[in-house]
Amino acid sequence: MSNLPVETTLAWLADYAKVVTDNSAMLTDLDRQIGDADHGSNMTRGMSAVAALDPQSFADTGALLKKAGMTLVSTVGGASGPLYGTLFLRLGAFLGPDKELSVQNLAQAFKADLDGIMTRGKAEPGDKTMVDALAPAVEALQTDAEAGRTLQEALDHAAQAAAQGRDATVGMIARRGRASYLGERSKGHQDPGATSLALFIESAARCLPVQV
Ligand code: ADP
Ligand code: MG
């Protein structure tokens, strides 16, 4: 098992930038229902800036992911910028040059993301946020690391778990972020951040197991 090559990480970031751009209208529409109709444009602006980073200037995946995190924080206003920034910064710290791309290490990296996002945003599972997509994905990776599954199997499982978590946000009442202002009225709507987060795990399942 090798490390995560910078080319693979670049391909992953480019894939996710394309996915959020392609789904921008849908993400914004979800945010229109329980927020302020900017999640699609926020994510598209941030990930376009990440995709435009000079690929030559990164010696390794850790440095690239850290720069991606800082770029998201500086280009995305709103709650999602610092939260996604935290996600990329932590991934960078855990998937650095000396880390092999194993299910175990990926589980640890995404667990660090989950902890970082929960600390920063103070959301718990069930609060109808991106945490509700990320937490089940982390659980799937941890289970599959224990069971000795392949990277592809574990990431497919994580993507499926994130999608189920995203779907479960429909029935939740928002307790964090703008949607929480609506209280009971937030029920019946899918959380935009959980939706973009599930797309991120799907993108990982598509891009990471492909070694360059
Ligand atoms: P804003 O709410 O500032 O307009 P966005 O629309 O880009 O920012 O992002 C909204 C998403 O951010 C929500 O759908 C939710 O998933 C996520 N979010 C908001 N606040 C929090 C929080 N405190 N913890 C975790 N996620 C949050
Ligand atoms: Mg918004």
Q: Which two structure tokens, joined as six digits, stand for 19?
A: 């996915």
Q: What is the number of other CB atoms lying within 10 angstroms of the CB of residue 100?
A: 12
Nearest to 26 by CA among 47, 51, 43, 45: 43
Q: How far is CA 130 from the centre of its chain?
A: 8
Q: Are the CB atoms for 8 and 208 separated by under 8 Å?
A: yes
Q: Is the CB of 42 under 6 A from ligand 1?
A: yes
Q: How far is CA 172 from the centre of its chain?
A: 20
44 CA distance to ligand 2 middle (Å): 13
Tens-level pLDDT at each residue, the chain (212 residues):
568 889 999 999 999 999 999 999 999 999 999 999 999 999 999 999 999 999 999 989 999 999 999 999 999 988 999 999 999 999 999 988 778 899 999 999 999 999 999 999 999 999 999 999 999 999 999 999 999 999 999 999 999 999 999 999 999 999 999 999 999 999 999 999 999 999 999 999 999 998 64
Q: Which atom of ligand 1 is nearest to the CA of 43?
A: 7
Cα angle value 92/137/39 (rounded, 5°): 75
Domains of the chain, each with CATH number or no CATH: 6-208 (1.25.40.340)
